[in-house]
Amino acid sequence: MQNTIKKPTLTLAIAGTILMSACNQTAPKSNTSMTDSTTTTAAATLPAAAGFEKTIDGKPTKLYILKNKNGVEAGITNYGGTLVGLLVPDKDGKLTDVVVGFDGIEGFQKAAGSYYGATIGRYGNRIAKGKFTLDGKQYSIFTNNGANTLHGGKKGFDANVWDAKQVDSTTLELTYLSKDMEEGYPGNLNVKITYKLTDDNELKISYEATTDKNTVVNLTNHSYFNLNGAGSGTNLEHLVQIDADGYTPVDTTLIPTGKIEPVKGTPFDFTTPTTIGARIEEDNAQIKAGGGYDHNYVLNKHDISKPIATVIGDKSGIKMEVFTEEPGLQFYTGNFMQGKNTILGGKKDDHRTAFAMETQHYPDSPNQPNFPSTVLKPGAVYKTQTIYKFSVK
């Protein structure tokens, strides 16, 4: 599937503003009777389980629900290891769904090229021309994004059914065997992902993988966040801070040039809190290449105890902090969203109505000797963790 960059229009911007003020909260959703007695708009709920009960590739799919003691809920399906919805309290304590999702698996399948909420693998983001060389041998993988491979290939981890084990009310384990040469990648890769919802309102995603042949691995989650509530309007007034002094500029097909450029003095500088919209229309070649932000940030030296990004929803007061062990962060502002899909609650997935923060190794690393390596060898364990933590400002 090829992404095409859609130019923002004034109409869209106005429509977004109207939507934002008119629909601060998505319509109530199906499966619970939770209501908020202090406000007129109902609290958000997760979609009904029925839309997720299917058989795909001969395997059963389901909606799994994690819930912590604060009433925070995460809905995850084993189809694509996908985060379907995430209910967190806003500044008034009202549960708000901060992740764009659909009322059933078909919605996710129809919007497959957008990777809503999905687990991404075997290689997150792009590999130039669908080719890389490992141990002197060239591998060709399926090209699904113009000349390049994006997010795994034709049928990435997002479109496969995972085996699921709900360990307890806050923990879900998903496993998947990506067979030798699946999509063209060498080695049988055994992958385990654990979603854990803590009582500190953190969604922790732990990734583990082992291989029986040298291969490349880059796993991430592709949730689209709108901290004012999915379907509540554009992301442009969200306040963003990213702890990165550098980023990897791209060519017109969004493949890194190989350079690491400083963000200072460019629209890419989020070292101090700035709204998404403040510079997104600037006359800057990189902004133009991405149709907005669609770039990998080279995170400053950090460990998992320190947030590498913080975002605040201007209307809801919901704050999201991102913690990761990964060296990079793909900050994507929904530039390819085109309003073609109806999301949970009935709104369309309009242009720039959500953003993604995909923790990762840098795009096209298998072809970029200067970037941190994504090679996994037999005997080694790929192990990494990302946390999305929610509070109110």
As annotated, the active-site residues are 222, 358
Q: Which of 152, 138, 168, 280 is nearest to 220 (CA)?
A: 152
Compare residues 96 and 125 and give the one whose CB is closer to ligand GLA. Answer: 125
Q: Which of residues 45-84 bind ligand GLA (CB under 6 A)?
A: none
Q: Please report which residue ranges of the chain form alpha helices under DSSP H.
A: 10-22, 105-110, 285-290
Cα(390)–Cα(393) distance, integer angstroms: 10
Q: Which of residues 348-377 bind ligand GLA (CB under 6 A)?
A: 356, 358
Does 385 contact ligand GLA by CB under 6 A?
no
Does 333 contact ligand GLA by CB under 6 A?
no
Does 332 contact ligand GLA by CB under 6 A?
yes
Compare residues 258 and 317 and give the one whose CB is closer to ligand GLA. Answer: 258
Which member of 26, 68, 114, 220 binds ligand GLA (CB under 6 A)? 114
Binding span for ligand GLA by CB under 6 A among 81-89, 134-142, 330-338, 344-352: 330-338
Contact 237, 275 (CB under 8 A): yes
Residue type, position 56, single letter: I
Alpha-carbon torsion, ordered 52, 57, 58, 63, to 10 deg: -20
DSSP secondary structure string, 67-120? Answer: E-TT--EEEEETBTTEEEEEEEE-TTS-EEE-B---SSHHHHHHTGGG-TTEEE
Which member of 195, 336, 382, 388 binds ligand GLA (CB under 6 A)? 336
Does 125 contact ligand GLA by CB under 6 A?
yes
**Distance from CA of residue 177 to its chain's centroid?**
22
The minimum distance between CB 359 and ligand GLA, in angstroms, equals 12
Q: Is 245 exposed, middle or buried (0-12, 13-18, 19+ CB in 10 A)?
A: middle
Binding span for ligand GLA by CB under 6 A among 18-26, 75-83, 266-274, 328-336: 328-336
Cα(214)–Cα(381) distance, integer angstroms: 12
Total of residues contacting ligand GLA (CB under 6 A): 12
Q: Which of residues 212-271 bind ligand GLA (CB under 6 A)?
A: 254
Compare residues 73 and 349 and give the one whose CB is closer to ligand GLA. Answer: 349
Which member of 97, 158, 183, 294 binds ligand GLA (CB under 6 A)? 294
Q: Which of 232, 311, 302, 319 is nearest to 275 (CA)?
A: 311
Contact residues: ligand GLA, CB under 6 A: 3, 114-115, 125, 150, 254, 294, 330, 332, 336, 356, 358
